[in-house]
Structure 1
Amino acid sequence: MTYRVRVASVYLLGFFIDLVNMFIASVAYPEIGRHFDAPVSQLAWISNGYILGLTLVMPLSRWLASRLGARRLIMLSLLIFIVSTCGVSAAASISQLIAWRWLQGIGGGLLIPVGQTLTYALYQNHERARLSSVVMLVALLAPALSPALGGLVVEQLSWRGVFLVSLPLAGAAFVLAAWWLKADRPAAKADSLDLTGLVSGSAALTLILFGLTALGEAARYGEGALMLLAGLVVLNSYVRNARRKRRPLLNLQLVKDPLFHTAMLIYQFIPGVFTGVSVITMLYLQNQLSMPASVAGTLMLPWSLASFAAISLTGRKFNRWGPRPLLIAGCLAQAAGMGLLALTGQAADTLIFLLAFALMGFGGSLCSSTAQSAAFIQIADRDLADASALWNINRQLSFCFGVTLVSLLFNLLANAGMVPQHAYHLCFAIAACSAIIPLLFALRITNHRVILILNRESQ
């Protein structure tokens, strides 16, 4: 096994652990709520606390790697994750549980961007499409397996066992990182920490995440809007301050790269909006059409199969076709899938639901895997650490943004006095139309230039 395969294996195992830990917890919410007598608003922060920890620590990853070395930082992040996992499983109150989940997020938030930076630096641009396909397959596998595994653990053991599932995986990742990764020395002259940027950036991200969460709840529109506005004001202050510094906490100039910012926007409007639509769809199927939860859950099977096909297609054709045709096809497929949902009216419309989910799976995964492959093509190796942190922050925010946007849209339509079924249908139709935005950005990609870069490097 080559060194770069070993590095990639450690990164992918860490990525898998992060995703399992994110998706498996929701299955245990009912039992946790009964155990601690906790309302839904508090239960939501079991996931939100984890996401907050992930997002807040990512901007620090490049600076910490320069101070400690990448190998030490990966091992430290895994150690934090292992300790906090034990803390989560032993929590005596819902507040303790959320606090330990936040610390768990910090461990995962250090692991992912540092591991991705190490891995992508060892692969040339023309090799990254296949690497990205493997990354996206991991991203597909974890959400598909986690709910079923979590449900089994809850039934056979308890809710505490759900959080311990990732413990042996984290232990294995720690051993492999110590064994396989080469020891690297910290930078001789590491940059001083941009403390102002850290404080303002963390405050902005916290306010934005809190605001998006509150906006998704019908009774907290005003509170959510104020926090989101405050977060955007603080973020603007951070950006202006960063532009004046030689070495800010994160190099925001990287966002000017056309491929990079297009890939980030694709993630917001394709996987992000699908996350929101999937939440509303489950409510529509079970509350409006009285479809059993077990039947509704099986609709993720065609989604998963179509996603696998899309990811495989990206790995095989990206270097030959370039990103533009793949992104255009993905946007149109997801829009068609969401549009089909607006044509349903009863639980017996099985074929329409199967086709809708298959189209959304194919289109969404075609876009996300292509975006992952294209994002770093024009990013210099010296900027990979900052680019990786920005990419992963954007990825986390996309899921919050999508759920908030679609939930807010549906609540506004429902509160406007519309018949519930019409509100669902119009919500699906508007979500389908949102694909126009990433589609227009995809049309602006200079595809021949990307193919030229990939072909030149493969020779």
Structure 2
Amino acid sequence: MSYRVCVASVYLLAFFIDLVNMFIANVAYPAIGQQLQATVSQLAWVSNGYILGLTLVIPLSRWLATRMGLKRLFILSLLIFIIGICGVASAAQIETLIAWRVVQGLGGGLLIPVGQTMTYALYQSHERARLSSVVMLVALIAPALSPTIGGVLVDTVSWRWVFLVSLPLAFVALLLAVFWLKSDGRLPRSSQLDISGLISGCLALTLILLGLTAMSESDHQNLGTICLLSGAVMMGWYVRNSLRKTQPLLNLRLIQEPMLQTSMLIYQLVPGIFTGVSLIAMLYFQGQLGMHATVVGAMMLPWAIASCTAIAITGKKFNDVGPRPLFISGALVQGLGIGLLPLIGSANDVILGIAAYALMGFGSSLCSSTAQSLAFLQIKDTELADASAIWNINRQLSFCIGVTIISLLLNVLLNMSGVQQTQAYHLCFVLAAVSAVIPVMLCRRIANRSVILTLNQEKR
């Protein structure tokens, strides 16, 4: 097995572990709430605390890599992650559990950008589409398997094993990192840590995440608005100061690179919107139509199959047709799938629901895998660490922003006079489907022929 395959394997295993821990906790909420006497808002922070830890530590990843080297930092991240797992599994109070989830997120947040930097540096641009397809396949498998595995563990053992199940995989990743990774992945050393950038950037991200979380809850929208606006102001101040510095915490000028910028926007507008639509679709199916949870959960099976198909197509066709037709096709197919949701009027319309989820899975995954392939196409190897950190922050925020936008839209429609609950859901789905026009228009800025020529020249 070649060295780059070894590095990619370690990275993908770490990525899988990170995603499992992001999605597996939801199924344990009732058991955690009963044993630790936790409120609904506290239970929400079992996941939000992990996402917060992930997001806050990502900007620091490049500076730490310059001081420690990529291999040492990757190993340290795994150790922090393992300590976090043990802390979460042994927590006797909900506050302690949330605190340990933040610690766990700090470890997981370093794993992804560091592993991505090491891996992508070993693959040329024309080879990254297939690599990205494998990455997206892992990103598909983890959310599909996590709830099922977690449910079995909660029913047969304890909710604590929902978190402990990652421990063996984390130890395997640790051993592979120690023996497989070379100690030559050190980045150019920067002179000093941008302390003011670290504080302002982390504070801005914290306020934004708190605001997005609170705004998605109808009882805390005012507080959420204040936090979000404060975070946006703080983020603006951070960006303004970072662009003036020669050695900022993150090289935000990379966002001006057209391929990375477009990929980030597409990720927000397609996979991000799907996350929000999927959430309210679950509420609609069970709360309004009375579908059984088992039937609703089974709709993820055609979603997963369609997603696998889309990822395979991206890996095979990206270098030949370029990103534009893949993006446009994915956005339109997802819009069509969302557009089918208002047509589901009873618990018997299961076939229509399966078709909707299959289309949404195909469209969303076609866009996300294409975005992953395009994002780093023009990024230099020396800038991969910053680009990877920026990309992963955007990916984390897309989940929160998508849920917040769709939830807010639904709440506005529900509070409109003369609009019934079912009508509010239908209007929300229609508006979300129409939003597919935005990424389609955005694709006009992509120099598709130039991308194809660049990829073909590298092959030669």
TM-score range, shorter chain: over 0.9
Structure 1 CA distance, aligned partners of 2:279 and 2:188?
49
Structure 2 CA distance, aligned partners of 1:188 and 1:221?
44
Offset of 1:48 from its aligned partner?
0.2
* Matched letter for residue 336 of structure 2: A
Aligned to 1:284: 284
Q: What secondary structure does 1:132 align onto? A: helix
Aligned to 2:70: 70
Aligned to 1:193: 193
Structure 1 residues 257, 328: closer, same or farther in 2, change over 3 A? Answer: same
Aligned to 1:342: 342
Q: Check whether the contact 1:272–1:403 (CA below 8 A) recurs between aligned residues.
A: yes
Aligned to 1:109: 109
Q: Check whether the contact 2:190–2:247 (CA below 8 A) recurs between aligned residues.
A: no
Q: What secondary structure does 2:343 align onto? A: coil
Structure 2 CA distance, aligned partners of 1:185 and 1:219?
48
Q: Check whether the contact 1:85–1:167 (CA below 8 A) recurs between aligned residues.
A: yes
Once the two structures are superposed, the pairs formed by residues 25-104 of structure 1 within 5 Å of their partners are 25-104=25-104
Offset of 1:406 from its aligned partner?
0.6
Structure 1 residues 457, 46: closer, same or farther in 2, change over 3 A? Answer: same
Normalised TM-score (structure 1): 0.99
Aligned to 1:237: 237
Structure 2 CA distance, aligned partners of 1:188 and 1:345?
59
* Matched letter for residue 167 of structure 2: L
* Matched letter for residue 119 of structure 1: T
Pair 1:366-2:374 in alignment = no
Aligned to 1:203: 203
Structure 1 residues 187, 17: closer, same or farther in 2, change over 3 A? Answer: closer
Offset of 1:72 from its aligned partner?
0.3
Aligned to 1:429: 430
Aligned to 1:166: 166
Structure 2 CA distance, aligned partners of 1:322 and 1:248?
33
Aligned to 1:257: 257
Q: Check whether the contact 2:17–2:169 (CA below 8 A) recurs between aligned residues.
A: yes
Offset of 1:187 from its aligned partner?
5.8
Q: Check whether the contact 2:54–2:109 (CA below 8 A) recurs between aligned residues.
A: yes
**Runs of 4+ that moved beyond 6 A:** none
Q: Check whether the contact 1:63–1:191 (CA below 8 A) recurs between aligned residues.
A: no
Pair 1:452-2:421 in alignment = no
Offset of 1:223 from its aligned partner?
0.7
Offset of 1:188 from its aligned partner?
7.5
Aligned to 2:421: 420
* Matched letter for residue 431 of structure 1: A
Offset of 1:364 from its aligned partner?
0.2
Aligned to 1:134: 134
Structure 1 CA distance, aligned partners of 2:389 and 2:445?
25
* Matched letter for residue 411 of structure 2: N
Instruction: Could you tell me which runs of 5 or more consecutive residues in structure 2 were left unpaired when the two chains were aligned.
Output: none
Structure 1 CA distance, aligned partners of 2:285 and 2:274?
16
Structure 2 CA distance, aligned partners of 1:284 and 1:416?
18
Structure 1 residues 132, 337: closer, same or farther in 2, change over 3 A? Answer: same
Offset of 1:421 from its aligned partner?
0.7
Structure 1 CA distance, aligned partners of 2:187 and 2:349?
61
Q: Check whether the contact 2:118–2:185 (CA below 8 A) recurs between aligned residues.
A: no
RMSD of the TM alignment (CA)?
0.9
Q: What secondary structure does 1:192 align onto? A: coil
Aligned to 1:441: 442
1:270-325 CA distance string (max 9 Å, x none):
11111111110000000000000000100001100000000000000000000000
1:133-177 CA distance string (max 9 Å, x none):
000000000000000000000011100010001000000000000
Normalised TM-score (structure 2): 0.99
What percentage of aligned pairs have identical amino acids? Answer: 64
Q: Check whether the contact 2:136–2:369 (CA below 8 A) recurs between aligned residues.
A: yes
Structure 1 residues 38, 133: closer, same or farther in 2, change over 3 A? Answer: same
Offset of 1:184 from its aligned partner?
2.8
Structure 2 CA distance, aligned partners of 1:153 and 1:50?
20
Structure 1 residues 323, 186: closer, same or farther in 2, change over 3 A? Answer: closer
Structure 1 residues 163, 289: closer, same or farther in 2, change over 3 A? Answer: same
Instruction: Could you tell me which runs of 5 or more consecutive residues in structure 1 were left unpaired when the two chains were aligned.
Output: none
Q: What secondary structure does 2:285 align onto? A: helix
Aligned to 1:388: 388
Offset of 1:113 from its aligned partner?
0.1
Structure 1 residues 406, 127: closer, same or farther in 2, change over 3 A? Answer: same
Q: Check whether the contact 1:322–1:450 (CA below 8 A) recurs between aligned residues.
A: yes
Q: Check whether the contact 1:55–1:393 (CA below 8 A) recurs between aligned residues.
A: yes
Offset of 1:345 from its aligned partner?
1.0
Offset of 1:333 from its aligned partner?
0.2
Structure 1 residues 188, 135: closer, same or farther in 2, change over 3 A? Answer: closer
* Matched letter for residue 190 of structure 2: A
* Matched letter for residue 288 of structure 1: Q
1:170-219 CA distance string (max 9 Å, x none):
00000000000001375684331000100000000000000000000001
